[in-house]
């Protein structure tokens, strides 16, 4: 009787914590969106992508001309946007953007944002084992996701595709490979650890499929936009770095180890060495979790951490990649009677957008993933909680 009462009490506490977190993140997400709308309109980060997609039809040689792309956006930019706003993605991403470039901006932005957020939320729902709506609310309410989704950032689409790829890896490897490739087309640095994951898991079919789809995308970009676009993109990368450095206070929102090393005064080989150590550690984390049987949420979390520590450039909103894993881990931990894991996972994913806290929060999230995986299965108090897809 005492054991039954204890399990019932744990389930009740779990339901209450779940409800409180749903309310808190819903309110927080709404306030974050309201605050952002006071500073800039919706779709401001999609605007240069749309401009590049539009130029792809008329003047493709200007896609990597920063001044030309900025001028194509001038009609929609608020007065305080006084810096260059280039298109920094490779020509393969134009395969997604060129069709939208034929549409008026607001129609294109609506299609892009709705489709991206739809894929992302569907992935969050599938990743969570139970209380799926709560998990989707957790993910959608995190500041990184609110910032990225409202701005039209490609990381929202890429993050959803990566989750779906991980979920399909064991049973449908070819689909998984195609999804990994599509994620790389949408946001290349988001999928930077996908090859490590596929080799570690021995998913040869998925690896070959990803290579075929990626190669086909490169060939299509050459066919439609011209081979010169690749040379122009590569030549534009140093200039893009200088643009990033010129934007006021932008450095406080960059989360990569390479940028942190530079902020600490390291340069050249020293900064690259620090970045290399973090990249190897991220790859090691991905290798370990994909080499051995692991929960899908832990694998998604490892992929996200690995991508963010290995990328030469990633903003705080790119931590959208952490959100599906953080949400799924949180609802699972609450169900297993581990509220501390849930709170730490969500707190780390939440704080990653705070100025100068991006990298520490990212490392804290990595630690939560590792600890939660090592703890393994536990007493499941969620048996008496809300069923899958329901809120308490």
Which pLDDT score, from 0 to 100, does residue 8 have? 63
Q: Label each residue of the chain as H, E or C.
A: CHHHHHHHHHHHHHHHHHHHHHHHHHHHHHHHHHHHHHHCCCCCCHHHHHHHHHHHHHCHHHCCCHHHHHHCCHHHCCCCCCCCCCCCCCHHHHHHHHHHHCCCHHHHHHHHHHHHHHHHHHHHHHHCCCCHHHHHHHHHHCHHHHHHHHHCCCHHHHHHHHHHHHHHCCCCHHHHHHHHHHHHHHCHHHHCCHHHHHHHCCCHHHHHHHHHHHHHHHHHHHHHHCCHHHHHHHHHHHHHHHHHHHCCCHHHHECCHHHHHHHCCCCHHHHHHHHHHHHHHHHHHHHHHHHCCCCHHHHHHHHHHHHHHHCCCCEHHHHHHHHHHHHHHHHHHHHCCCHHHHHHHHHHHHHCCCCCCHHHHHHHHHHHHHHHHHHCCCCCHHHHCCCCCCCC
Which pLDDT score, from 0 to 100, does residue 9 have? 59
Which pLDDT score, from 0 to 100, does residue 356 have? 82
Q: Give Cα separations from 314 to 102, 161, 254, 343 (angstroms).
A: 29, 18, 6, 25
What are the phi and psi torsion angles at 15 (to 5°)? Answer: -65, -40
Least confident of 105-114, 161-170, 206-215, 334-343: 334-343
Contacts of 390 (CB under 8 A, 6+ apart): 131, 133
Count of CA atoms in the C-beta half-sphere (13 A) of 23: 7
Which pLDDT score, from 0 to 100, does residue 75 have? 87
User: 243 pLDDT exceeds 60?
Assistant: yes
> In the predicted model, what is the mean pLDDT of the chain?
89
Q: Which residue has the higher pLDDT, 244 or 215?
A: 215
Q: What percent of the chain has pLDDT over 90?
A: 68
Find where tokens 């990249």 sit: 279
Quick one: pLDDT band at residue 149, thresholds 50, 70, 90? Answer: very high
Q: Which residue has the higher pLDDT, 261 or 146?
A: 146
For 293-314, what is each residue's pLDDT tens digit?
A: 889 999 999 999 999 999 988 8
User: 383 pLDDT exceeds 70?
Assistant: no
User: 389 pLDDT exceeds 90?
Assistant: no
Which pLDDT score, from 0 to 100, does residue 48 have? 95
User: 386 pLDDT exceeds 70?
Assistant: no
Closest CA to 51 of 32, 37, 38, 67: 67
User: 117 pLDDT exceeds 90?
Assistant: yes
Structural domain boundaries in the chain: 17-384
Quick one: pLDDT band at residue 83, thresholds 50, 70, 90? Answer: confident
- pTM (predicted TM-score): 0.91
For 335-357, what is each residue's pLDDT tens digit?
A: 888 899 999 999 999 999 988 88
Quick one: pLDDT band at residue 10, thresholds 50, 70, 90? Answer: low
Find where tokens 């960059």 sit: 254
Torsion sign, CA atoms 70, 73, 75, 81? negative
User: 177 pLDDT exceeds 80?
Assistant: yes
């Amino acid at each position: 009787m005492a054991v039954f009462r204890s399990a019932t009490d744990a389930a009740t506490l779990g339901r209450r914590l779940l409800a409180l977190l749903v309310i808190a993140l819903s309110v927080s997400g709404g306030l974050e969106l309201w605050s952002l709308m006071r500073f800039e309109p919706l779709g401001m980060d999609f605007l240069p992508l749309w401009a590049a997609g539009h130029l792809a039809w008329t003047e493709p040689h200007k896609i990597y001309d920063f001044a030309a792309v900025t001028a194509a956006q001038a009609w929609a930019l608020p007065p305080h946007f006084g810096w260059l706003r280039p298109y920094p993605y490779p020509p393969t991403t134009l395969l997604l953007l060129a069709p939208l470039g034929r549409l008026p901006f607001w129609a294109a932005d609506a299609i892009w944002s709705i489709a991206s957020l739809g894929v992302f939320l569907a992935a969050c729902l599938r990743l969570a084992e139970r209380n799926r709506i709560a998990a989707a609310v957790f993910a959608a309410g995190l500041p990184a996701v609110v910032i990225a989704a409202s701005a039209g950032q490609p990381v929202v689409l890429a993050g959803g595709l990566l989750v779906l790829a991980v979920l399909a890896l064991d049973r449908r490897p070819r689909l998984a490979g195609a999804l990994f490739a599509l994620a790389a087309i949408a946001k290349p640095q988001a999928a930077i650890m996908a090859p490590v994951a596929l080799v570690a898991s021995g998913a040869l079919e998925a690896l070959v499929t990803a290579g075929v789809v990626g190669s086909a995308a490169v060939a299509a970009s050459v066919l439609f936009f011209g081979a010169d676009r690749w040379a122009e993109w590569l030549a534009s990368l140093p200039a893009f770095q200088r643009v990033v450095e010129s934007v006021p206070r932008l450095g406080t929102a960059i989360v990569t180890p390479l940028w942190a090393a530079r902020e600490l005064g390291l340069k050249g080989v020293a900064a690259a060495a620090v970045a290399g150590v973090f990249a190897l550690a991220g790859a090691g984390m991905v290798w370990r979790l994909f080499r051995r049987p692991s929960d899908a949420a832990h694998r998604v979390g490892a992929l996200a951490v690995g991508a963010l520590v290995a990328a030469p450039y990633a903003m705080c909103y790119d931590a959208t990649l952490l959100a599906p894993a953080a949400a799924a881990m949180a609802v699972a931990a609450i169900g297993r009677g581990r509220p501390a894991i849930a709170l730490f996972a969500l707190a780390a994913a939440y704080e990653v957008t705070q100025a100068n806290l991006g990298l520490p929060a990212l490392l804290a999230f990595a630690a939560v993933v590792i600890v939660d995986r090592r703890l393994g299965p536990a007493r499941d108090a969620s048996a008496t909680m809300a069923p899958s897809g329901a809120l308490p």
